[in-house]
Chain A
Amino acid sequence: MKKIKVTMYFPANKIAIPLAYHLIKNYNLMVNILNADVSLNKVGTLVVDIEGEEKDIEAGLKYVRQIGAEYAVFNKSIIWKEESCVHCGTCTAVCPSGALKMDKSDWSLTFDKEKCLVCELCVKACPLRVMSVKNGDII
């Protein structure tokens, strides 16, 4: 089993295709929609986690291209330098997915990498400069 994070871009005339449905039903993939920006007559973007057998993921992504959509596999990740963090919470103001949250029990910052969309807003918002982007090689 493998898990990847992908941003998919739909041309305006393709947003009616139930893409997630096909990926789940025909390619046996687990699709978790993390962020969706889809509106009529606009390019739609969908950020998803895809989990499944490697060959199924490959076939699924091939299908995405076939229907005329584009995709980009996340090859970046956010690195939190926790030891330098003061847990002020300023980054939580801009995190769109709730990956960065305050733990109310002790007011520590928590970072759930699974939920992270790598939008990089926290990198700029962090006053202590403890969030950074790391380029990976997982394509």
Chain B
Amino acid sequence: MSYKTIEEINEKVRAGKAVVLTAEEMIDIVEEKGVKQAAKEVDVVTTGTFGPMCSSGAFINFGHSDPPIKMTKVWLNDVPAFAGLAAVDAYIGATELSESRGMEYGGAHVIEDLIAGKDIHLVAESYGTHCYPRKEISTYINKNNINQAFMFNPRNAYQNYNAATNSSNKIMYTYMGTLLPRCGNVTYSTSGQLSPLLNDPLYRTIGIGTRIFFGGAQGYVVWEGTQHNPEQKRGENGVPMGPAGTLALIGDLKQMSTKYVRAAVYQQYGVSIFIGVGIPIPIIDEDMAEKTAVRNKDIYTNVIDYSVSSGPRPVLKRVSYEELMSGSIELNGKTVPTAPLSSIKKAREIANVLKEWILKGEFLLTQPVASLPLTNTVNKLEIRNRTEGVQNEKD
């Protein structure tokens, strides 16, 4: 049964009377008072995550020079940005590498430097047109002298992810960190019981239009993320047991903070970016109270062997995050050390900052404009020959 509407919760937030807890605090309250009472008393549960999220980047409008240029190729601190848009619009992707410094500097660093207020070297080329006669430009920009700069991340806040190990005899350098030979370690990336989509596993309150904490600013969920995979196998609690839902997020880069957006370099893999995301979950009924009390021991993932590079990677074991966070797991009769890749300390900080925002009435909750899909599977990229005619699934 439903107890509260979003509007009723927001009235309490405006009046400074809302009861707001972090997802970890909610576990204790539900344990102490039960689901029913917790659902009545608690209005909002805040979540947080701070992990590497490669599918991130920012749109920038540089403003027009005099005479103007229709930029066809753009570099920011020697990192190529996509310029196949209108004259002075570009998209800088987080994983793009510097043409001079390689893996040590990339799009993520450009984004972090922009947020920090640093000057960025902008170089652009063009073929020149009657309306845009300039053919090249070299200048400096920063967040105060450009027009819009908004982060638009096609895939963030993965709802669960595999844990990684390496059964081969050689060390592997991956986006899951350094994997030691002969299953010498296991790495995992989650904020577990604090993670946004693990606290709303069936996307009942998080949807398109949801206002969120995004890189230290207020941002929004704009779409399902790429590779959104809601049909992943789920436990009885609705929590998926492997990579499942994802979110596409948008927010004003100029309002963000380098405390919550940090460039990252993974040895021999490349550049990525740590993004801080926090999502408030309105406790509209008992079901949401129960869901937000999820604990690390109720969340499972698979330990995958990353040394298998072709075909499906074998699942070596199913483990709970409580086991992974203990510091070691048993694998093939051996005790193997585990290491996190996502900062739980920062995730907690984010859930607490969001809680403060709501308590102060600075952040209001949103009713999703549309729901995230509950059906969708992820296609594989098949290497094949062209077929005649038009392929339309609906026909």
Q: Do A and B bind each other?
A: yes
Stretch among B113-121, B299-307, B343-351 lining the A interface: B343-351
In the complex the two chains form, is A107's CB within 8 Å of B348's CB?
yes
Given contacts A102-B340, A107-B343, A121-B178, contact A127 B265 (CB under 8 A): yes
List B237-270 residues whose CB lies under 8 Å from chain A.
262-267
Q: What B residues does A94 contact at CB under 8 A?
A: 177-178, 180, 185
Inter-chain CA distance A57–B265, complex, in Å, is 41
In the complex the two chains form, is A88's CB within 8 Å of B341's CB?
yes
Q: Does A75 contact B (CB under 8 A)?
A: no
How many B residues are at the interface, by size bracket? 20 to 34
A108-139: contact bitstring with B at CB < 8 Å (1 yes, 0 no)? 10000000000001001101110000000000
> How far apart are B328's CB and chain A's nearest CB, in angstroms?
11
Q: Does B372 contact A (CB under 8 A)?
A: no
In the complex the two chains form, is A90's CB within 8 Å of B177's CB?
yes
In the complex the two chains form, is A93's CB within 8 Å of B178's CB?
yes
In the complex the two chains form, is A93's CB within 8 Å of B345's CB?
no
Q: Does B274 contact A (CB under 8 A)?
A: yes
Q: Does A33 contact B (CB under 8 A)?
A: no
Name B262's contact: one of A86, A102, A121 (CB within 8 Å).
Answer: A86
Q: Does B201 contact A (CB under 8 A)?
A: no
Q: What A residues does B178 contact at CB under 8 A?
A: 93-94, 121, 124-125
Q: Does A65 contact B (CB under 8 A)?
A: no
Q: Does A89 contact B (CB under 8 A)?
A: yes
In the complex the two chains form, is A127's CB within 8 Å of B345's CB?
no
In the complex the two chains form, is A128's CB within 8 Å of B264's CB?
yes
Name A86's contact: one of B50, B266, B348 (CB within 8 Å).
Answer: B50
Q: Does A62 contact B (CB under 8 A)?
A: no
In the complex the two chains form, is B343's CB within 8 Å of A87's CB?
yes
What is the chain A residue whose CB lies nearest that of B341?
Answer: A90
In the complex the two chains form, is B345's CB within 8 Å of A125's CB?
no
> How far apart are B274's CB and chain A's nearest CB, in angstroms?
6
Name A88's contact: one of B180, B337, B340 (CB within 8 Å).
Answer: B340
Main secondary structure of the interface of B (DSSP, over half): strand
In the complex the two chains form, is B341's CB within 8 Å of A106's CB?
no
B323-364: contact bitstring with A at CB < 8 Å (1 yes, 0 no)? 001010000000001011111111010000000000000000
Given contacts A94-B180, A125-B178, contact A89 B341 (CB under 8 A): yes
In the complex the two chains form, is B340's CB within 8 Å of A86's CB?
no
Q: What B residues does A125 contact at CB under 8 A?
A: 177-178, 267
Q: What B residues does A104 contact at CB under 8 A?
A: 325, 327
Inter-chain CA distance A108–B345, complex, in Å, is 6
> How far apart are A31's CB and chain B's nearest CB, in angstroms?
26
In the complex the two chains form, is A128's CB within 8 Å of B262's CB?
yes
Name A124's contact: one of B179, B180, B267, B337 (CB within 8 Å).
Answer: B267
Q: Does B52 contact A (CB under 8 A)?
A: yes
Q: Does A92 contact B (CB under 8 A)?
A: yes
Q: What A residues does B274 contact at CB under 8 A?
A: 86, 88, 127-128
Given contacts A94-B178, A108-B345, contact A89 B339 (CB under 8 A): yes
Given contacts A93-B178, A93-B187, contact A127 B52 (CB under 8 A): yes
> How far apart are A123's CB and chain B's nearest CB, in angstroms?
10
List A65-95 residues whose CB lies under 8 Å from chain B.
86-90, 92-94
Q: What A residues does B156 contact at CB under 8 A?
A: none
What is the chain A residue whose CB lies nearest that of B267?
Answer: A124
B297-324: contact bitstring with A at CB < 8 Å (1 yes, 0 no)? 0000000000000000000000000000
Inter-chain CA distance A88–B340, complex, in Å, is 6
In the complex the two chains form, is B343's CB within 8 Å of A86's CB?
yes
Q: What B residues does A107 contact at CB under 8 A?
A: 340, 343-345, 348
Q: What B residues does A88 contact at CB under 8 A?
A: 50-52, 274, 340-343, 346
What is the chain B residue whose CB lies nearest that of A122?
Answer: B178
Q: What B residues does A87 contact at CB under 8 A?
A: 343-346
List B166-199 residues whose CB lies under 8 Å from chain A.
177-180, 185, 187
Given contacts A86-B50, A90-B177, contact A129 B341 (CB under 8 A): no
Q: What B residues does A89 contact at CB under 8 A?
A: 339-341, 343
Contact sample, A vs B, 5 pairs, CB 8 Å cutoff: A87-B343, A89-B343, A92-B340, A107-B344, A121-B178
Given A88-B274, A88-B342, A124-B267, 13 other A-B residues pairs in contact with their CB atoms under 8 A = A87-B343, A88-B50, A89-B341, A90-B341, A92-B337, A92-B339, A93-B180, A93-B339, A107-B343, A125-B178, A125-B267, A128-B264, A129-B265
